[in-house]
Amino acid sequence: MNDVWSYSLLIALCLPATWYYCYGIYAALTFFYHPIQPEPDYHPPITVLKPICGLDNDTYENFASFCRQDYPDYQIIFGVHNAQDPCVTIVQQLIQDFPDLDIQLVISDRIIGTNFKVSNLANAEPQAKHAILLLADSDVRVGSDYLRRVIQPLRDPAVGVVTCLFRPLTRGWVANLEALGISTDYLAGVLVANRLQGMTFALGPTIAIRRAALEAIGGFAAIADFLADDFQLGYLPAQAGYKVVLSDYIIEHVITTESLTDLFHRQIRWAFCTRVSRPWGYLGLIFTHGIATSFLFLIMTWETRLGVIGLSITWLTRLAMAWIIGAMFLQDRAAKQLLWLVPLRDLISFGFWCYGFAGNSIQWRGRRMRLLRNGKLEPWEI
C-alpha cells in the first residue's frame, strides 16, 4: 500500500511537470511568433536611469551601448553612492566620448532604505527631464534599436510598465552553469506566467515605467526596503490598475559569477526572494521540477518499465523546452553548447529550491542582510 501511495504521489508530480514543459513550448511559440509591431513615428522622450556600483565585465562597452541608440531624444543619468567608485571614471570617459548626448552623473550618499540600488535610482530621478523612465542595470548590453523597440507597448496609455527578456553573456564554467538555468528554466517560467495570466511583475535588467505610474505607487521610497525591487516595480503598478507588458526585445545580460560560492549566494538570494514575494507560487514550483521527481520515481520503480517510461517522457519534454526557448529563441550560447547538462542543472536548482524554505539570511554586494516575511530587508545584527 505504501508503494502505491508513493507511486501515485510521484506520478502526480511528474505529469504536471510534463504538462508544464509542453505549455512552456506553447507559450514561447505564441510569444515569439507574434511580435509587437513597431510604429516608426512613436518615439517619446525618455530618461534612462542606471544605478551603478562597482565594475562588471566590459563595463565601458555595456554603458556605451546605451549611448549608441538610434533614438531622437533621450538622456542618461548614472546614479552612484560613492565618489570613489571605479564606475565614476568610466562615466566621465563616456561624457567625453559622447559630447552630443545628454549624460549626467549623480553622486549622492543619501540612503532611503536598505536596498542601495533603489537609493541610487531615487537620487538620480530628480534630474530626469522626461515622463518616461527606463531603468537599466549596469551589467546589461543592448543594440542600437533597443529604445525604439522596448518603448512600443507604451503607445497604449493603459500600459504603465514594460519589461523584457534577456540573453546571458558568460565567461567561465560557473557562469555558464548559472546561465543555463536562467535561459532554459527561469525565463521559461516568465513566458508561462505571461501566457497564463499576463505580467504582474517586472524583470530587473530593463524596466520602462511611466513617471505617473511610479508616483502612483509612492515613488522609489515605496520599494526602498525590498530585495525584489524589480518584482515590486511591476506588481505595485499592476495593483494600481496599470498594465505590465513583456517586450519581445531581448537584451544581453553579463553574468559575472566566478565561483561556486558566488553561485550559491545568488541562487539562494533569488530563492528567498521568490518565496517571500509569491509564497504559494514558490510552493507550486514543485510541479516544475520534473527532472528531480521523475528521477525519484525511477528509483522507486527500479524493477519495472514504468519508471523508465516516466523518466524518458519527462526528460525529453524538458530538453525540448530547454532547446526551443534557450537555444532557438533566446540564442543563448550556454543552452546550445551545454544542453546535455540541463538535467544536472535542474537537480541543482531543485536543491536550491528545497534550501529556499530554510532561512532568511542573504549575502548581497558584500553585506549580510536578513529577509523578512514581507520581502523587505534589514541589516543582519549579531
Q: Are 213 and 160 in contact (CB under 8 A)?
A: yes
- What range does the domain containing 196 cover? 42-258
pLDDT value at 146 more than 50: yes
Question: Do 288 and 249 fall into the same domain?
Answer: no
Mean pLDDT of 28-50: 93
Mean pLDDT of 9-32: 90
How sure is the predictor about 365, in pLDDT bands with cuts at 50, 70 and 90? low
Cell of 150: 522596448
Mean pLDDT of 276-289: 86
Task: Domain count for the chain, please give it.
Answer: 2
DSSP per position, 279-297: HHHHHHGGGG-HHHHHHHH
Distance CA 274, CA 231 (A): 9
**According to the model, what pLDDT value does residue 1 have?**
44
Question: Do 248 and 284 fall into the same domain?
Answer: no
Question: Do 242 and 289 fall into the same domain?
Answer: no
Question: Do 304 and 226 fall into the same domain?
Answer: no
Distance CA 207, CA 235 (A): 12
Cell of 55: 565594475
Q: Are 69 and 146 in contact (CB under 8 A)?
A: yes
Residue 222 lies in a domain: yes
Distance CA 253, CA 311 (A): 33
Q: Is 304 exposed, middle or buried (0-12, 13-18, 19+ CB in 10 A)?
A: exposed
pLDDT (tens digit per residue) in 212-270? 999 999 999 999 999 889 999 999 999 999 999 999 999 999 988 888 888 888 888 88
The CA-based diameter of the chain, rounded to the nearest angstrom, is 76
**According to the model, what pLDDT value does residue 303 have?**
60
**Across all residues in the chain, what is the average pLDDT?**
90
pLDDT value at 141 more than 60: yes
pLDDT (tens digit per residue) in 32-41? 998 888 898 9
pTM, 2 dp: 0.91
CATH of the domain at 222: 3.90.550.10
Residue 330 backbone dihedrals phi, psi, to 5 degrees: -80, -15
Question: Do 100 and 241 fall into the same domain?
Answer: yes
Distance CA 190, CA 171 (A): 25
Strands 102-107 and 74-80: parallel
Beta bridge mates, 79: 51, 106
Question: Do 63 and 22 fall into the same domain?
Answer: no
Mean pLDDT of 176-183: 93
Q: Where are the alpha helices (DSSP H) in the chain?
A: 2-32, 59-67, 87-97, 116-124, 146-150, 173-181, 187-197, 211-216, 229-239, 260-277, 279-284, 290-300, 305-321, 333-337, 342-355
Mean pLDDT of 274-300: 86
How sure is the predictor about 359, in pLDDT bands with cuts at 50, 70 and 90? confident
